[in-house]
Amino acid sequence: MSFDYDLFVIGGGSGGVRAARVAAADTVSKVGMAEESRYGGTCVIRGCVPKKLMVFASTYAPAMKQAAAYGWDVQAVGFDWSAFRVKLEGELDRLEAVYRRLLKNSGVETYDMRATVAGPNTVRLADGRELTAKTILVATGGWPTVPKVPGAEHAITSNEIFHLEALPKRMLILGGGYIACEFAGILNGLGVDTYLWYRGTQVLRGFDGEARDVISKGMQERGVTIVTETNIAQIDKVADGVQVTDTQGAVHDFDLVMYATGRAPNSSGLGLEALGVGLDRAGAVEVDSYSQTAVPSIYAIGDVTNRVNLTPVAIREGMAFVETAMKGNPTPVDHALIPSAVFTQPEYGTIGLSEEEARAQEVIEVYATTFRPMNTSFINDPHEVLMKLVVSQASRKVLGCHIVADGAGEMIQMAGIAVKMGATKEDFDRVCAVHPTMSEELVTMKSPVRTA
């Protein structure tokens, strides 16, 4: 049978773009792609990249305070959101152009519109055209979820935060995950009176408990007001902002409310279920270890599969898909021991098991220390950092590494190599410390603080 394309990719995010252009360039395949929004997807357009640039912007105010404490004559006259937003949007335009150029240079034919799956080998474009492909790859990512609360339409999500006309003076962020906590730090750093409400007892559920405590304490020391065990019952639009009624019946005034209560796989309306492709209760496309669905010609990668929702993981899944489906070299993706960073303030880098997870599976030793680093203790800054190793008592392998500190993301990338290689606590101990640094504590902690 003759097809219009060897491969058709639905979704122009990081994973889909990588798969499309590598397939086109390395396998001499004819590749098509459809994207209904902007090329680059969540990470480049409404996620990692603009968020990290906002993180950078938000750190200058405390940095200037620290500079003054060190003796510099520094005067901060305020943050110009409008000027920053113009530069931010220009950078996103530049990056999208890069993605488009990479696709074009690789020979990928692109369609700037929505596409759905009309058959095992058929894609239907929004303009009604139908195209055939030997293999279809779904890489449509995820989308923010908003609870069904009266007045929820008056709130925004992380998708809209980058495009505000002006920064609010007083803002409420609802949620306790990494997106909520990251934006709480960002907005607070940019001078917004920031409140974070979370229905649980501590933010960052699912991460290491000790790290969560240090991060929460640090966020509050920096000015974020965190209120746990509460939720929004209703949002009402008023002349000068919004009024929010909490679940205890109290009413609060804010300029803006942002929901950061989770993301769902962007699989709705793609036509997958009608073809026999399985979706789980969350809407995630069900795939095997090779990213193949129950329909052999249809694969899925990235956040739409809800496996490990990180951009580098989606890219690796895309590369493994090309090896498997386009080159005939079955290649699963290793989802174990993936280092990650949470760009809260303070920052968090982590790989492997939390103390709680490790304790549930075997006897462990915990090596941990919290302290004020040299640069902040010198100016009597109260902020503490955490260095922590979770170690198997039987094998001595480091099961988890947790760092809460400025630059934790950079540190965990390096520590992650050792943990991924199966390093033991004694392997860490054999490494000479780099002094004076925060990270030297990872190789100088000699006695466990507890055994569990």
Q: Which residues are catalytic?
A: 435
Cβ(10)–Cβ(124) below 8 Å:
no
Phi, psi (5° rounding) for residue 411?
A: -65, -40
Retrieve residue 386's tokens. 């955490």
Cβ(219)–Cβ(344) below 8 Å:
yes
One-letter amino acid at 223 equals G
Burial of 1 (0-12, 13-18, 19+ CB in 10 A): exposed
Cβ(168)–Cβ(256) below 8 Å:
yes
Phi, psi (5° rounding) for residue 451?
A: -120, 135
Neighbours of 45 (CB within 10 A): 22
Burial of 296 (0-12, 13-18, 19+ CB in 10 A): exposed
Distance CA 134, CA 121 (A): 6
Give the position of tokens 């105010």.
Answer: 61
Phi, psi (5° rounding) for residue 303?
A: -65, -20
Tell me which DSSP letter residue 189 carries: H
Retrieve residue 190's tokens. 């940019």
- Element spanning 60, H or E: helix 60-69
Distance CA 425, CA 97 (A): 46
Cβ(192)–Cβ(215) below 8 Å:
no
Distance from chain centroid for Cα 86: 24
C-alpha radius of gyration, the chain, whole number: 24
Give the position of tokens 């030793």.
Answer: 365
Cβ(165)–Cβ(256) below 8 Å:
no
Helix (H, G, I), strand (E, B) or coil at 294: coil
